[in-house]
Copies of this chain bind each other. A is one copy, B any other.
Amino acid sequence: MATASLLGLEKKSLREQALAALRTAITSGELEPGRHLVETELSEMLQISRGTLREALRQLEQEGLISAGARGRMSVRHLDVKEIRDIFAVRGALESLAARTLSDMPDKEAVLAELRAAVDNMDKAAKSSLEERIESDLEFHRTLCRLSGNETLLHSWESLEGSIRMSIMFAGLERATRNMSVGRHHDIVAAIETGNAAKARETIIAHMDGAAENLVG
């Protein structure tokens, strides 16, 4: 056996690394909304070729983080208030499907345990940096979708995740804080536990409507 420090190198493709780096740069605001993205500039910054970069840009485009203007010129997407509401409406539709699905599951002890663990994580993060609170919050909602067992649902949610992060950033960090209430997430788990699908659905929708209002109101 090799030593721990030799167990596998970084074997992600440059494309994936570039994708992650750009996603972070955009959702953190380092690349501000409206900023024009020049392929030659970016490829030099990231030290990769344009071809590789373009593949990553394609994916970001489909995630809605960047948009193509005239003649393929890309720029960082700018979200207005309506778009944030729209994003959270879609998010609500997706997550309410997850909640309904989980509610209707016959044997959901394992599912509930994992959800409670995610809520506990939020609890622990409540005393940490805002960034960690956001991460644990998103992790809870991603878990919700993952546990539904519906891969398509999870994939759709993840395609939206970048837009969600941009919404949070756009709104400003103090507003985002309002959505990190651990109690409201307990309510979601409780609603799923009762097995009342309609109730679970309504809880999620209310949660999302509230979240959107907190961000833009």
Question: What are 25 A-B contacts with C-beta separation under 8 Å?
Answer: A51-B51, A51-B54, A55-B55, A59-B62, A64-B155, A83-B152, A86-B150, A86-B151, A86-B152, A86-B153, A87-B152, A89-B97, A89-B101, A89-B152, A89-B153, A90-B97, A90-B152, A90-B153, A93-B94, A93-B96, A93-B97, A93-B153, A94-B94, A152-B163, A156-B160
Residue numbers in B under 8 Å from A90 (CB-CB): 94, 97, 150, 152-153, 156
Across the A-B interface, the 9 shortest Cβ-Cβ residue pairs: A93-B97, A86-B150, A93-B93, A86-B152, A90-B152, A58-B58, A87-B152, A51-B51, A62-B62
Main secondary structure on A side of the interface with B: helix
User: Is A159 in the interface zone, CB < 8 Å from B?
Assistant: yes
A59 to B55, CA, bound (A): 9
Smallest beta-carbon distance A193→chain B, Å: 21
Within 8 Å CB of A58, what residues of B? 55, 58-59
Report which A residues bind B (CB closer than 8 A). Answer: 13, 51, 54-55, 58-59, 62, 64, 72, 83, 86-87, 89-90, 92-94, 96-97, 101, 150-153, 155-156, 159-160, 163
- Beyond known contacts A89-B152, A159-B159: 9 more, CB 8 A cutoff: A51-B54, A58-B59, A86-B151, A89-B153, A90-B150, A93-B94, A93-B153, A156-B156, A156-B159
B-side contacts of A152, CB under 8 Å? 64, 83, 86-87, 89-90, 160, 163
Task: Determine the distance from Cα of A87 to Cα of B101 in the docked complex, in whole angstroms.
Answer: 13
Separation of A54 and B59 alpha carbons in the complex (Å): 12
Give Cα A97–Cα B204 distance, bound, in whole angstroms: 14
A55 cross-chain contacts in B, Cβ below 8 A: 54-55, 58
Contact of A159 among B62, B92, B96, B163 (CB under 8 A): B62
Residue among A13, A86, A152 having the largest count of chain B Cβ atoms under 10 Å: A152
